[in-house]
Amino acid sequence: MRVVAHGGQHFLGLAILALSMGALAGPVTFFGEDPNANLTVPPAGASVAAKAAFQSQLNGSQASEGFEGFALGQTAPLAVFGGTGTLTAPIAGGRIENQVTPLPGVTPGRFNTTPGGKNWWQSSTDFTLTFDHAISAFGFYGTDSSDFGGGLSLELLSGTDVLSTLIVKNPGASLGASGSLLFFGFMDTTQAYTGIRFVVQQTGTEPDVLGFDDLIAVDSPTRTVPEPSTLVLAAVALALAAKKRRGSRC
């Protein structure tokens, strides 16, 4: 970070303000979409790049879920993330799917994103993940979210309280063909969450069905963010150093 001094107390106030704002910031999000993925995960696609950027920041105990251990058609409640770590999360709403029978003349849109896998989770209504202990980062692949103009958002929960709402897709945005692929993730170094509610917003006369796969959850903060008191001390040190340099040039 480059800090530019504008003089004495003014610089000190700006430094403290900037650093404190960084410490109090909410979730940082990662998003990439391939509207014409055509039922595949493109190796050089925007969604893959977003997932790589998200994973490059993770530093805690990770758990993942590709839905491969469940039977076709199995519905909630499901205990996901089982066997991949200490994290478990009952899921309510939706069902396991591994095939889509399209309507005549309609290209199927939801698909598996796990290498060598076949299953995914799909839903046309809201569903919730409730974690057995708090998480600070979460990501997933979403398929077929662009063809009916619906919307998707995540409500980040502490118990029943909604602490933050993240917009993944605005209703009507990026209307495109079936078979789209997106990656969405968030990380929060100042707040942990015990649940995530996926809010599926419908806009048309036909319900839009969305696919979800390769969920990633992290149960501890990612990059370490200093405490506010540490940030203030750092800002003071920067201000004093800048003032000393200016004095030595007089």
Residue 105 confidence (pLDDT) above 50: yes
What is the average pLDDT score of the chain? 75
pLDDT tens-digit readout, 56-104:
999 877 889 999 988 888 887 778 886 443 344 445 456 787 766 555 6
Residue type, 197: R
Specify burial of residue 112 (Cβ count, 10 A radius: 0-12, 13-18, 19+). Answer: buried
DSSP conformation class of 45: S
H or E element, residue 69: none
Kindly tell me the burial class for residue 152, based on how many C-beta atoms sit within 10 Å of its own C-beta (0-12, 13-18, 19 or more).
Answer: buried
Q: Is 224 exposed, middle or buried (CB count within 10 Å of its CB: 0-12, 13-18, 19+)?
A: exposed
Q: Which of 42-51, 117-126, 173-182, 207-216 has the lowest mean pLDDT?
A: 173-182
Strand partners, 121: 96, 212
More confident residue, 30 or 150: 30
pLDDT of residue 188: 93
pLDDT of residue 196: 93
Q: What's the pLDDT score for residue 231? A: 42
Percent of the chain with pLDDT over 70: 66
Distance CA 36, CA 56 (A): 26
Domain boundaries along the sequence of the chain? 27-226
Higher pLDDT, 231 or 198: 198
Burial class of residue 248, CB neighbours in 10 A (0-12, 13-18, 19+): exposed
Query: Domain 27-226 belongs to what architecture?
Result: Sandwich (2.60)
pLDDT-wise least confident of 38-42, 43-47, 137-141:
38-42
> What is the model's pLDDT at position 69?
86
Rg, Å, the chain Cα set: 22
